[in-house]
Amino acid sequence: MNMRRLYLLSGLLAGIALATFAYKSLVLGFPLLPDARSEYWNLEVSVDFTPGDEPVQVSLQIPESSSRFAVMDENFISRGYGLMTRRTDSGRQAVWSSRMDEGEKTLYYRARIRRLPAGGVGAQPPAPEVGVPEPDEVSGPLADAVIEEVRARSADTESLTRELIAQLHRSQPDENVALLLGEAPTGLRAMNVAARLLVRAGIPARVVHGIRLQEQRQLLAPVHWLEVLIEDRWWSFMGAAGESLPDEFFPWWRGDQPPVRFRGVTSQSYHFAISRSAEMAVTAAIEGGRIRHPLLAEFSLFRLPLETQAIYRILLMVPLGVLLLVIMRNVIGVKTFGTFMPVLIALAFRETQLLWGTVLFCVVVGIGLTVRLYLERLKLLMVPRLASVLIVVILLMAVLSLLSHRMGLERGLSVALFPMVILAMTIERMSIVWEERGAAEAFRQGMGSLFVAILAYGVMTRETLEHLMFVFPELLLLILAATLLLGRYTGYRLLELYRFRVLARE
% of residues, the chain, pLDDT over 90: 7
Q: How far apart are CA 111 and CA 76, in angstroms?
A: 9
Q: Residue 439 corresponds to which amino acid?
A: A
Residue 413's pLDDT is what? 47
Sorting pLDDT into bands at 50, 70 and 90, what band is 282?
low
DSSP 277: -
For the cut 80, the answer to whether the pLDDT of residue 491 exceeds it is no
Q: What does the mean pLDDT of the chain come to?
A: 79
Q: What ranges do the domains of the chain cover? A: 40-120+260-282, 123-249, 318-460
**What is the CATH topology of the domain spanning 123-249?**
C8orf32 fold (3.10.620)
Q: How far is CA 321 from the centre of its chain?
A: 25
408: buried, middle or exposed (CB in 10 Å: 19+, 13-18, 0-12)?
exposed
How many CB atoms sit inside 10 A of residue 193's CB?
25
CA distance 123 to 232: 10
Note the pLDDT tens digit of each residue in 194-239.
888 888 888 888 899 888 876 655 567 788 888 898 888 888 888 8
- Between 430 and 35, the more confident residue is 430
Ordered DSSP codes for 360-410:
HHHHHHHHHHHHHHHHHTTT--HHHHHHHHHHHHHHHHHHHHHHHHHTT-G
CB 101, CB 49: distance < 8 Å:
no
Given this model, what pLDDT does residue 141 score? Answer: 78
- The one-letter amino acid at 431: S
Q: Is the pLDDT of residue 262 over 80?
A: yes
Same fold, 40-120+260-282 and 123-249: no
Report the range of poorest mean pLDDT among 122-131, 320-329, 441-450, 490-499.
Answer: 122-131
**In which band, very low, low, confident or very high, does the pLDDT at 178 lie, cut at 50, 70 and 90?**
confident
HSE at residue 135, side-chain half, CA atoms within 13 A, is 16
Arch. (CATH architecture) of 40-120+260-282: Sandwich (2.60)
Angle between helices 341-352 and 420-437 (to 10 degrees): 130
Rounded CA-CA distance 110/91 in Å is 17
Q: Which range has the top average pLDDT, 26-35, 82-91, 386-395? A: 82-91
Helix (H) or strand (E) holding 206: strand 205-212
